[in-house]
Structure 1
């Protein structure tokens, strides 16, 4: 009985072993076909275990048999692993590329390895492989993928001239999955190349796409503005800002602020420029000037002053103009001392001759008004020496006459006032004072006749009321010294009647 049982078991084991051997011999092609079918459908997780099992089941002697193409199994197993981003497959792929002699499969493996590197964002490694892949053994979809991915790899390396035609090729395939992305990147490169019509065409394709609707409006608005479609740029930019969520929100506000600044609509420019300057990490001097000038034109003197103060320190026209407007802003707020300093800085810059002229005059005038007498005396003389024919020359002369009179420099004051036209009424109001002062100097020097002539002029001047009693006194004094007693009595009597003497 025991022998019978053992015999049955042995027969069963032999049948089972034979069945397994038969399955191994007869099933590999079917399994490989199934795995390849999964692979083509991109069901890599289903294909991969079958392929791995096929590799394990093959014996060394069978790797070269006709039952199964070992190289084909190896190719699909490695390619499938790469598609699943298995790092261990990288070296297997490199070995396959280096060692196998099947050109078509080597090319396809190179493509798969390039795609792996692309997904891992190792664009340099991907580029090196893509550049050596022939499209002869790739499907149309794979060719399109490779063109876009190689284009993007070039793009990341800023090799835009190489990337552009590849993106353009995908732009001709509206049904391709990378169609929208290709249009965006092509538009970006065209914009960078100043090919604005090409850029606009590409950007309009993606302007409402969820991935780009908050990006491309900045470029489109810029293109309109650059093409001198400024009203269209303004309308478009404002509409996109209202929709919210713009990635280049600050830059769009900058564009709008600058556009309104150029249109001299300064009140509209202010909020946009203000937002740009406030939000930006780094602001150019030109941008700060536009904001400050807009404040100035909107009569916001305080903020204009705050901005212009930051724009000095350079020897260029922007710095000079800023100091000029800073000085004027200080005058508008009655800060004469600060205005005087601003005009001094402006006058030291020769970028704008007219502003230098005006600032030099204002500095002298403010020095006079603030009591810097010696400075004003020097500055008025310097101004008149430099700008003798200036529209401010007459006022400068009048003010200089006042300075000379107030510093008892009557001789020079008299010379200047008598050389001035009769229309200089402000200076003429000082005429009697100057005549009187110079006459007393001459009288004290013993030049009585010359002194008397000046006093006679002073006596006849209609603006002599403040000095008339003293003129009469000195007329009497000189007449007495010249032994003209009757004239002396008359002038002394007039002096006493004036009430200028108390007691």
Structure 2
């Protein structure tokens, strides 16, 4: 409150009058020292005077002179602020009780303290003078001074008692009424304050001080027009501090009259209390801006209310949300409405804020909680709201838009009145798709069936049938898949779906995997004839059409299909060329077959089928009685592809050519090479058997026996028992009686550990253990077969061995098997398996350069689906990040976004926001982070990272409220990710430190 500007007058000290009255008497004492001291005292040279008075007091024989000297010495001490001066005066009172100066002393000391503004000390002496016999004029002065001293000490009740005693006097009445009115003003008794102030209004000096108080009182009484008029009247003559307060009175009065345009300049001119604004101050200025459509300015003021929880803050957050909505900043509006909704100071505002929070959550997504949970919370809190039907509708739709189908199903099962049967069908279908993408095919199939059983949307019913068939296809139920695909084709809504164009393609594969090549051929042909589907899928369909016809012995039609592939060109044409060559052989066009194989070997030197082509070329030459060329082809195969599983076959075939041609020595050399390099393989067994014929024919039986005894994989006796024992075990395996197969195969190996069929037995044993989900048991036997080499089971065993180690997270152990598989794989899918897992394994082992190399190989391989492409691009992106190649990481994440779904898509979107933040494009970064919150709400960790990034963007955009609010929510709601919450805490601390610094600077400027 403003300070009083009253100049007080006081009577002359009794001491002065007393001093002059005694002067003639002193002279009669002829005490020159006393006279000199008195002159010094009256000229305010108290130190010198006191020294002489003390001398007089100590040496005088005159009691009165001694008393007077003691009196003046004590008075001088008081005026010199000496420690113990009050005690000196008290000693004077006790020592000289008959002194004529004793009565004057109380008032003299009190008036001295009063005059110097030391009201607490003055009161002490006025209390002692209370009962002295004072004259009437002296009594009035005493009452006024004591009353004012009590007023200054804020003892208003006692002060009023003394001031009222002089309120009717001519000398003190006006001032007394002023102070009584002021005390009533201070205690909010404005009616009484006005009564007293009105009585002194005619006093020019006092009235000039009343305008401020009257303006403030009228404001507090709600008389805003009077307050405005009085404050404006006072403004021109007010001091700096009063100007600020008067502007506040005028501005807030206009505010309360809802005259916001008039209020604005006055509210802006207010400097705050001690240089600081209150929440109400910021709110009022912000609201004035809001009412005039100045939303950016309003946002700036409302944003200064960030750390309080009260009614003003709730109003501010609500109107902040309104301002953000009007400026198109919906994420910011969502945060503000959420804050307002969580406060209960004004229930009407809470309710409306909740509604806006729910609507915005539906529209743009919610990074803090699932959108359906927001809707449910609103309905629980306001079950009778006039907007409940709207929110129920948004609730159901939010499940579909947010992709939170699992919670949707839970909610619909508990509250079927929140959605009709058509809604239930949609949710069941989309939840089925979610489960399908998670590779939970049995559960996906169950929910697709639920959608089919609620046939309210023909489009969804037919799509559910298609995807149910897809789930059955993936789980190997090919016959059920065929039925499902056919049902889909016949459904009324199927033709309008995106899946319809590809259904023949999927039917073709379902028949193909059942070896029903006639039907497979029919559907692949139908698919390629309709000309729909992407180029890669059309290409694949022609290949499978050719394979189906080939398997069905329709070789000329097969070649037509392969020719279509060749015409299109690109990756995969090598396979078509190879198959075309083989087809020529089956239609007795041997020359064409040889020519095509020769062209193939030349045209596709890097093809994974080149070893097959060389082997087939060798066989074809031999069968055409061109043994030299055949041998040449076999030799090229062995030299160029030493790791190929066809090498032992080629060497064996070369040996058989020599044997059949009578070149036994050459034949034995070839057979022994097979036996030496590929021990335990079937080719090695056949080589031993054929070599035996040569040794027997040449009468070298003992030499043969010596040779065979050195081979630990050949049993030279009990061959018939060996075959019989294995045949029984093999039958159990073929019948898929895995438990019996395991016992039989293990028994065979126990009896014939190096028997004729021991490699195959190990492989069958591994497969049986695998089917029984005993992967530890399977691993031992897969590794055995993988390490033998040259076996037809080698490729699959390598893949299985690597896969089991990968499941165990033993990447370093898996890598050698994957590398061998990459070098020997005949099947593209195994090659893809090897490369994609080598890529991931090297990344996990932090060998980023090798991971990048394999990721590039994966992307360059034919027929890579989007899921594997996404994996490759994410490895490139992450490896590039780890190696500091940010530009490559940016490019890779853009590619990830094109093909990935789920968590990888969420990661790609996060880094889109991250790189935009680094570039200083904070608005665009926030848009990406908001998409992350809306479209990938289920990926909490990535979402939390996006929120911290969003807060940094808002801080960079000078929106401290949004930044603070988001970070506080991350800290509160994502404790399961301590690294993220720690980052949020550090960022929040940095923002608050800066905000405090800004406030301090502003306060200094306003002072």
Give the TM-score, by structure 2 length.
Answer: 0.35
CA RMSD, 1 decimal: 5.1
User: Residue 51 of structure 1 contacts residue 77 of structure 1 at CA under 8 Å; is this kept in 2?
Assistant: no
Is 1:366–2:360 an aligned residue pair? yes
The partner residue of 1:436 within 459, 466, 485 is 459
Shift of 1:207: 5.1
Of 145, 149, 157, which residue of structure 2 is paired with 1:149? 145
* 1:190 Cα deviation after fit: 2.4
Structure 1 position 265 matched with structure 2 position 288: no
Which residues of structure 2 form unaligned runs of 5+? 1-11, 34-61, 424-454, 470-482, 508-525, 539-1007
Instruction: Choose which of 288, 291, 308 in structure 2 pairs with 1:294.
Output: 288
The yes-or-no answer on 1:231 pairing with 2:225 is yes
Relative to structure 1, is the Cα distance of residues 402 and 161 closer, same or farther in structure 2, using a 3 angstrom cutoff?
closer
Matched residue, 1:12? none
Q: Is the 8 A contact 1:436 1:471 kept in 2?
A: no
Which residue pairs with 1:392 in the alignment?
A: 387
Residue 379 of structure 1 corresponds to 374
Match of 1:201 in 2: 195
Q: 2:279 maps to which residue? A: 285
Aligned partners of 2:313, 2:130: CA distance in 1, in Å?
A: 60
- Does structure 1 retain, via aligned residues, the 8 Å contact 2:283–2:316? yes
Q: How does 1:67-466 map to 2 (within 5 A)?
A: 71=64, 94=90, 96-102=92-98, 106-133=102-129, 137-174=133-170, 176=171, 178-206=172-200, 212-213=206-207, 215-245=209-239, 248-278=242-272, 280-370=274-364, 375-384=370-379, 386-387=381-382, 389-406=384-401, 407=403, 418=420, 435-445=458-468
List per-residue Cα deviations over 1:458-496 (Å, max 9, x = no partner).
Answer: 7xxxxxxxx98449969x99xx9xxxxxxxxxxx9xxx9
Instruction: Tell me how far apart the structure 1 counterparts of residues 112 and 373 of structure 2 sit (CA, whole Å).
Output: 80
Cα contact 1:55–1:74 (8 A) shared by 2: no
CA 45–278 in structure 1, closer or farther in 2 if over 3 Å, else same: same
Distance 2:456 2:26 in 1: 117
Question: Is the 1:368–1:376 contact (alpha carbons within 8 Å) kept by the matching residues of 2?
Answer: yes
Question: For 1:227 and 1:76, how far apart are their aligned partners in 2?
Answer: 59
- d(CA) in 1 for partners of 2:221, 2:120: 37
Structure 1 gap ranges (5+): 1-37, 60-68, 422-431, 459-466, 481-491
Cα contact 2:337–2:356 (8 A) shared by 1: yes
Kept in 2, the 8 Å contact 1:186–1:202? The answer is yes
* TM-score normalized by the length of structure 1: 0.65
CA offsets per residue over residues 362-383 of structure 1, 9 Å max, x none?
Answer: 3343344335599334433444
Higher RCO, 1 vs 2 (CA within 8 Å, ≥6 residues apart):
2
Give the equivalent residue in structure 2 for 1:13: none
- Asked if the contact 2:113/2:121 (under 8 Å) is kept, the reply is yes
Secondary structure of 1:349's partner? coil
Total equivalences in the alignment: 417
Which whole-Å CA distance do the structure 2 matches of 1:420 and 1:319 have between them?
44
1:172: how far off? 0.9
Q: Partners of 2:121 and 2:127 in 1: how far apart? A: 10
Secondary structure at the aligned position of 2:106 is classed as: helix
SS at match of 1:108: helix
Over 3 Å counting, the alpha-carbon distance change for 1:209 and 1:251 in structure 2 is farther
Computing the radius of gyration from Cα coordinates, the structure with the larger value is 2
Change (3 A) 1:344 1:43: same
Aligned equivalents of 1:351, 1:339: Cα separation in 2: 20
Q: Distance in 2 between matches of 1:324 and 1:362?
A: 10
For residue 384 of structure 1, report the CA deviation from its aligned partner: 4.3
Partner SS, residue 129 of structure 2: coil
Change in 2 beyond 3 A, CA 1:386/1:155: closer
